[in-house]
Amino acid sequence: MKKIMSMIIFIACGLSAFGQNDPATEKLLNTLREKYQSYRTAKINFTLTATNQQKQITVDEKGELIVEPRTNRYRITLNDQVMISDGKQQWHVLKEEQEVQITEADGEQSGSITPANIFSFYSEGFKYPAAKSETIGGKSLSVIDLIPTDGKVSYVKVRLRLDKSINQIHDVTVFDKSGSLYTYTIQNFTPNVKVTSKTFIFDKTDYPGMEIVDLR
């Protein structure tokens, strides 16, 4: 799962010429981003599904994200790892390896897609046509295919599906150049949850015995 998350965090490839952005789709994305940025905090329970189509292997993992949209502070909790950021640096707790890696918070490559920026990654670096519509499980969804403008990234496109009834992300699927698929599905979204002073700060006493590796 460490390998899967590394690919998710630093994914990147592309297509460039895709015409102009569709005005109606752009308005839809701007409205979504503004709604998200209006929250003081948010708690998102999500499922990450990684599918290797060549090997026909699918891995599912549940996770939780607590984030402050205006400060980019976040805490991501998965089964075997935790990622904490105070907006300036990130602590990546790898439980299986008994290691904590410290990096700069802005050290991620442009175009990266993570649970922490899932509501804003589309702000720049993509072209998109008119949104399509489909119905899944009784939900009416807007389907937006985002095509990266950076030819150095390793994914072909990102598919964003929005629940029309509540103007909220239903899921995000990254189509990797290798043929693998990575899907974040929002299971529950709770805005303006209460957080403590420790939520976005790494406390080494919570992880006794772990080796701390400073990669800054």
Q: Transcribe 147-206 into DSSP letters.
A: EES-TTBSEEEEEEEEETTTTEEEEEEEEETTS-EEEEEEEEEEES----TTTTS--GGG
Diameter over CA atoms, the chain:
54
What angle is formed at CA 42 by the lines to CA 204 and CA 21, rounded to 5 degrees?
120
Q: To which H or E segment does residue 57 belong?
A: strand 57-68
Q: To which H or E segment does residue 211 belong?
A: strand 211-214
Structure tokens at 96: 């299986």
pLDDT along the chain (216 residues), means of 10: 47 39 92 92 94 82 93 92 93 96 71 74 89 94 94 89 93 92 94 93 94 94
| Helices and strands per DSSP (H, E), number in the chain | 2, 13
5 touches 60 (CB < 8 A): no
Structure tokens at 20: 């102009």
What is the predicted pLDDT for the residue at 106? 65
Q: How far apart are the first and last CA of the chain?
A: 23
192 touches 39 (CB < 8 A): yes
Closest to 49 (Cα-Cα) out of 183, 187, 160: 183
What is the predicted pLDDT for the residue at 197? 82
68 touches 200 (CB < 8 A): yes
Q: pTM value?
A: 0.81
Q: Which amino acid is at 32?
A: L
Give the whole-angstrom CA distance, residue 120 versus residue 74: 14
Structure tokens at 187: 């299971």
Q: Residue 196: count other Cβ atoms within 10 Å of its Cβ.
A: 7
Backbone angles phi, psi at 96, to 5 degrees: -65, -40
